[in-house]
Amino acid sequence: MNRQLSELSASELNEAIDDTNFPQSHAMSRQRNSSVCSTSSNSAVMGLSDSVRSLSNLENELQVDETQTCKDQSNNIENVNDANPRSKPIGFMRREHPTTLLKMNGSVEGKFDVPGTPKTPRTSTTPGHENCTFHHDLELDHKPPTREALLPEMARSYRLLLGSLGEDPDRQGLLKTPERAAKAMLFFTKGYDQSLEEALNGAVFDEDHDEMVVVKDIEMFSMCEHHLVPFYGKVSIGYLPCKKILGLSKLARIVEIFSRRLQVQERLTKQIAVAVTQAVQPAGVAVVIEGVHMCMVMRGVQKINSKTVTSTMLGVFRDDPKTREEFLNLVTSK
Ligand SMILES: Nc1nc2c(ncn2[C@@H]2O[C@H](COP(=O)(O)OP(=O)(O)OP(=O)(O)O)[C@@H](O)[C@H]2O)c(=O)[nH]1
Ligand SMILES: [Zn+2]
């Protein structure tokens, strides 16, 4: 790739750091008793691609803009309450390293591309969604108009499913089940209907502040795209602002946009990081997700205590071990 990250659109960036080649989006499975079963930042993990691009390749693609540095601020500790009571904003930590600026095309205000003009071709087509890229790509501004209209067809499918199970879809207790199930599935995947621009609602503020902001333990509920069963867990997000800060609750809203879809945990992690980058063009973004996959609990290998940890580090979080360590210390502290 010849161009720098700053020149890539969200969808192009998404491709550039896709699950198969992004060295800092890694997974770690461990038991709840903290004994690490397997860990990897550059080698294959169960269910992960074994093709991992070298760090040096990606370094060439990451932009390090030495001319734009954020001024260090005084040791300004601030507690801010998030709308989500279980999310814990940690405040702003003093940073002792030079900043670099991670930039991407398109800021929040009016710079999104025109909806319905996909930048990357769809890999498959679903009736009614021929022009959508949102199922597979990071078309953050795309709002499909007809998902509600899919409800009757979905309900019919669930009715067939009940029949396939040997149930009588016409028995009293199941009469409304197909429609209920269809509505539930629409809810579980409502992120397809949401755009970054809507979720942010303009809550991007100019602020000469460049200390680390971390919101941790944001609850996440998603659907495994392989088995259509839930996976859930918590998300921690950190970023180093560069002239712009984001309304704290918007980090949790970004988690909603991408978790309420059919997902794999690795892609979810990366999409959240890309969205935060697109929202405020910070010096760096870090995202860690700890997830429990019901497909590994209720079926399959039936490992009820296993957790999957994934992370994506961009900008200074990737380049500077001290910054990354500071973030990881914050998210692992009680
Ligand atoms: N990397 C990754 N893999 C996932 C995720 N969710 C589910 N999987 C895996 O997807 C894989 C699908 O493997 P298959 O062998 O095709 O399906 P399966 O026979 O149902 O596999 P088992 O779960 O091992 O019984 C499994 O290894 C799942 O653990 C995820 O978020 N990320
Ligand atoms: Zn699964």
Structure tokens at 230: 């839930």
Among 43, 226, 267, 297, the mutation site with the greatest number of ligand 1 atoms within 8 A of its Cβ is 226
Residue extent(s) of CATH 3.30.1130.10 domains in the chain:
5-114+202-332
**What does the pLDDT read at residue 9?**
56
Ligand 2 midpoint to CA 120 (Å):
26
- Ligand 1 interacting residues, C-beta cut-off 6 A: 46-48, 224, 226, 264-266, 293, 295-296, 300-301
- The β-bridge partners of 26 are 311
Q: What are the start-end ranges of the E strands in 190-283?
A: 204-206, 212-224, 230-240, 244-246, 262-263
* Residue 287 in this model has a pLDDT that exceeds 90: yes
> For residue 24, which phi and psi values (nearest 5 degrees)?
-95, 0
Nearest ligand, measured from the Cα of 267: 1
Nearest ligand, measured from the Cα of 289: 1
Residue extent(s) of CATH 1.10.286.10 domains in the chain:
148-191
Question: Is residue 327 a contact partner of residue 273, using CB atoms and an 8 Å limit?
Answer: no
Ligand 2 midpoint to CA 98 (Å):
41
**What does the pLDDT read at residue 63?**
37
Ligand 2 midpoint to CA 212 (Å):
34
* Closest ligand 1 atom to Cα of 291: 31
* Residue 169 in this model has a pLDDT that exceeds 70: yes
Q: How many other CB atoms are found less than 10 A from the CB of residue 157? A: 15
Whole-number Cα distances in Å, 71 to 6, 92, 96, 204, 264: 21, 14, 11, 19, 38
> For residue 249, which phi and psi values (nearest 5 degrees)?
-65, -20
**What does the pLDDT read at residue 334?**
81
Whole-number Cα distances in Å, 142 to 116, 124, 257: 6, 17, 12
**What does the pLDDT read at residue 231?**
98
**What does the pLDDT read at residue 80?**
28
* Residue 190 in this model has a pLDDT that exceeds 80: yes
| Of the options 1.10.357.10, 3.30.1130.10, 3.40.710.10, 3.40.1230.10, the CATH number for the domain spanning 5-114+202-332 | 3.30.1130.10
Element (H, E) at 271: helix 265-280
- d(Cα 257, Cα 138) in Å, to the nearest integer? 11
Residues 6+ apart with CB under 8 A from 119: 9, 11, 12, 113, 133, 137, 139
Give the range with max mean pLDDT: 62-76, 79-93, 112-126, 146-160.
Answer: 146-160
Q: What band does 301 get if pLDDT is binned at 50, 70 and 90? A: very high
User: What's the rounded mean pLDDT across residues 61-73?
Assistant: 39
* Residue 138 in this model has a pLDDT that exceeds 80: no
Nearest ligand, measured from the Cα of 233: 1
Residues belonging to the active site: 224-227, 265, 293, 295
Q: What band does 146 get if pLDDT is binned at 50, 70 and 90? A: low
* Closest ligand 1 atom to Cα of 264: 31
Element (H, E) at 153: helix 151-164
**What does the pLDDT read at residue 95?**
47
Q: What band does 150 get if pLDDT is binned at 50, 70 and 90? A: confident
**What does the pLDDT read at residue 101?**
52
Give the residue with greater pLDDT, 3 vs 285: 285
The yes or no reply on domain 148-191 and CATH 1.10.286.10 is: yes
Q: What band does 11 get if pLDDT is binned at 50, 70 and 90? A: low
* Closest ligand 1 atom to Cα of 225: 6
> For residue 330, which phi and psi values (nearest 5 degrees)?
-65, -40
Q: What band does 10 get if pLDDT is binned at 50, 70 and 90? A: low
* Residue 324 in this model has a pLDDT that exceeds 80: yes
Question: Is residue 220 a contact partner of residue 313, using CB atoms and an 8 Å limit?
Answer: no
- d(Cα 205, Cα 319) in Å, to the nearest integer? 26
pLDDT averaged over the chain?
72
Give the residue with greater pLDDT, 143 vs 247: 247
- Matching residue, tokens 């333990």: 217
User: What's the rounded mean pLDDT across residues 268-291?
Assistant: 98
* Residue 141 in this model has a pLDDT that exceeds 90: no
* Residue 67 in this model has a pLDDT that exceeds 50: no
Ligand 2 midpoint to CA 126 (Å):
22
* Residue 24 in this model has a pLDDT that exceeds 70: no
Ligand 1 midpoint to CA 2 (Å):
34
- Whether the complex's predicted ipTM surpasses the cut of 0.90: yes
* Residue 208 in this model has a pLDDT that exceeds 60: yes
- d(Cα 304, Cα 219) in Å, to the nearest integer? 19
- d(Cα 306, Cα 89) in Å, to the nearest integer? 27
**What does the pLDDT read at residue 148?**
83
- d(Cα 272, Cα 279) in Å, to the nearest integer? 11
**Which residue owns the Cα nearest ligand 1 atom 30?**
264
Lowest mean pLDDT among 149-153, 200-204, 214-218: 149-153
- The β-bridge partners of 39 are 28
